[in-house]
């Protein structure tokens, strides 16, 4: 029997953990123990995803909650150490690049437990991003590294990771998307938002500190969104972090009109702020959008499979394959670039079916991971 502790902490982790739990359940020789750190703990960002993705109740919930990077990482480490000592796993598996990933990874290797990193090798080459630090450190201490795209394999080789440690297996997040895409079509979200008449619309997500914590950047992006909303509805599910900053910056009901001043009148009616959506609702909303604007890494991948044009509101991406496939374009926070890219994409929208799919993004990444782990850990 191989005992593996799987760690989930934040929303992007849940879509990656779900197919792995399925693959491990299908193998009697693997016993999976699920630990939820509680990094995302509200119903919209955690509980609903577990329910919709069929993830079993966690065996352990550390209930850490939000805090600064240092405090949150330290609290996760403090709470996770007794779990490893009690469960005595053969390996700990972490996914992605959140604080839970590096915190639990450090605890595992310091206790002599093998560490597995799923979604290894991704690099934005921007060390101002906390996620980049988490990625680099987790890969440096991992025993087994599973890559979602070829750039990850190449980055690990450049960093001196032995070739036998890394494996190109595909993208577990895409496993989940392909499994639930048909079910997501049953969602009534378009009816709820008044978008069931076939009108084109845009979807926006924002949560990166560089975009939402810096008033100048946030304002510039909002100015672009307001301009786009004059042409098509813009649906903006607001991340809890982003909503907090909007309140602090008094942006909840304002529109941005220049690089220096905010206006106090109401936001345009076609810019619709909504609460965070569950996985199935958001998947349907994305799948029928004319365009998606985001600073999320995972959404860059999901739109690539959905063949929906994506404008990434960042200067870099750790998922270059999405740019190579033609679905994704980096536009930063410059409103002129955002608006021009939107118009370019709108003009070429019918051509989207020509976008190719990255290698091994076929819904079987978790099965490949399970197969390899059976051989390595037996």
- pLDDT surpassing 50 at residue 222: yes
Q: How far apart are CA 157 and CA 214, in angstroms?
A: 35
Helix (H, G, I), strand (E, B) or coil at 375: helix
Give me the residues paired with residue 146 across strands.
118, 167
Q: How much is the pTM?
A: 0.92
DSSP secondary structure letters along 333-352: T-HHHHHHHHHHHHHTGGGG
Burial class (CB in 10 A: 0-12, 13-18, 19+), 179: middle
Contact 65, 99 (CB under 8 A): no
List pLDDT tens digits, range 334-377: 999 999 999 999 887 655 667 899 999 999 999 999 999 999 99
Q: Which residues are catalytic, by number?
A: 207
- Give the per-residue pLDDT at 261: 34
Q: What are the structure tokens assigned to 82, written together?
A: 């007794």
Going from N- to C-terminal start, the domains of the chain cover 2-171+361-377, 183-354
- Give the per-residue pLDDT at 254: 37
- pLDDT surpassing 60 at residue 257: no
- Give the per-residue pLDDT at 262: 34
Beta strands in 60-217 (DSSP E): 60-61, 91-95, 114-118, 144-147, 166-168, 202-205
Nearest CA among 321, 376, 302 for reference residue 121: 321
Sheet holding 310-312: strands in order across? 271-274, 234-237, 202-205, 291-294, 310-312, 328-330
Contact 146, 169 (CB under 8 A): yes
Instruction: Give percent above pLDDT 70 in the chain.
Output: 92
Give me the residues paired with residue 255 across strands.
263
List pLDDT tens digits, range 299-347: 999 999 999 999 999 999 999 999 999 999 999 999 999 999 999 998 8
Measured over the CA atoms of residue 203, residue 313, residue 303 and residue 26, the dihedral's sign is negative
List pLDDT tens digits, range 15-55: 999 999 999 999 999 999 999 998 765 655 567 777 888 88
50-56 contacts, C-beta under 8 A, 24 or more apart: 50/14, 52/180, 52/278, 52/279, 52/280, 53/14, 53/15, 53/18, 53/176, 53/180, 53/279, 54/18, 54/22, 55/8, 55/14, 55/17, 55/18, 55/21, 56/21
Q: How far apart are CA 34 and CA 159, in angstroms?
A: 30
CA 142 to chain centre: 21
Given the DSSP bridges, would you call strands 166-168 and 144-147 parallel, antiparallel or unpaired?
A: parallel
Contact 374, 31 (CB under 8 A): no
Q: How far apart are CA 132 and CA 154, in angstroms?
A: 16
2-171+361-377 CATH pick, 3.40.50.460, 3.90.1170.50, 3.40.50.300, 3.40.50.2000: 3.40.50.2000
183-354 CATH pick, 3.90.110.10, 3.10.450.50, 3.40.50.2000, 3.40.640.10: 3.40.50.2000
Contact 23, 369 (CB under 8 A): yes
Helix (H, G, I), strand (E, B) or coil at 232: coil
Helix (H, G, I), strand (E, B) or coil at 329: strand
- 2-171+361-377 and 183-354 in the same fold: yes
Q: How far apart are CA 232 and CA 194, in angstroms?
A: 13
The dihedrals phi and psi of 202, each to the nearest 5 degrees, come to -115, 155
List pLDDT tens digits, range 75-86: 999 999 999 999
């Amino acid at each position: 029997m191989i005992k593996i502790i799987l760690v989930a902490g934040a929303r992007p982790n849940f879509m990656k953990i779900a197919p792995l739990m399925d693959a491990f359940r299908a193998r009697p020789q693997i016993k999976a123990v699920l630990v939820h750190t509680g990094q995302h703990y509200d119903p919209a960002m955690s509980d609903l995803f577990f329910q919709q993705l069929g993830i079993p109740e966690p065996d352990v919930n550390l209930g850490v909650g939000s805090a600064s990077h240092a405090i949150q990482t330290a609290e996760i480490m403090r709470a996770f150490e007794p779990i490893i000592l009690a469960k005595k796993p053969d390996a700990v598996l972490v996914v992605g690049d959140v604080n839970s990933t590096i915190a639990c990874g450090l605890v595992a290797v310091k206790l002599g437990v093998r560490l597995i990193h799923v979604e290894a090798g991704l690099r934005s080459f921007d060390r101002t991003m906390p996620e980049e630090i988490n990625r680099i450190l987790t890969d440096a201490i991992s025993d087994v590294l599973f890559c979602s795209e070829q750039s990850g394999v190449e980055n690990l080789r450049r960093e001196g990771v032995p070739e036998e440690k890394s494996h190109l297996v595909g993208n577990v997040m895409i496993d989940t998307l392909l499994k639930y895409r048909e079910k997501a079509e049953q969602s009534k979200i378009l009816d709820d938002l008044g978008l069931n008449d076939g009108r084109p619309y845009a979807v926006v997500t924002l949560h990166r500190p560089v975009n939402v914590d810096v008033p100048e950047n946030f304002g510039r992006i909002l100015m672009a969104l307001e301009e786009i909303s004059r042409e098509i509805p813009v649906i903006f599910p607001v991340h809890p972090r982003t909503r907090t900053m909007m309140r602090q910056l008094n942006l909840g009901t304002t529109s941005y009109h220049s690089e220096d001043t905010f206006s106090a009148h109401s936001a345009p009616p076609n810019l619709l702020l909504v609460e965070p959506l569950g996985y199935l609702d958001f998947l349907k909303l994305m799948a029928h959008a004319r365009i998606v604007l985001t600073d999320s890494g995972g959404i860059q991948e999901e739109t690539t499979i959905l063949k929906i044009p994506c404008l990434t509101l960042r200067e870099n991406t750790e998922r270059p394959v999405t740019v190579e496939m033609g679905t994704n374009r980096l536009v930063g926070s410059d409103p002129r670039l955002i608006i021009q890219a939107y118009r370019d994409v709108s003009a070429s929208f019918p051509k989207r079916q020509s976008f190719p799919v990255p290698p091994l993004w076929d819904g079987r990444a978790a099965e490949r991971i399970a197969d390899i782990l059976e051989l390595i850990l037996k």
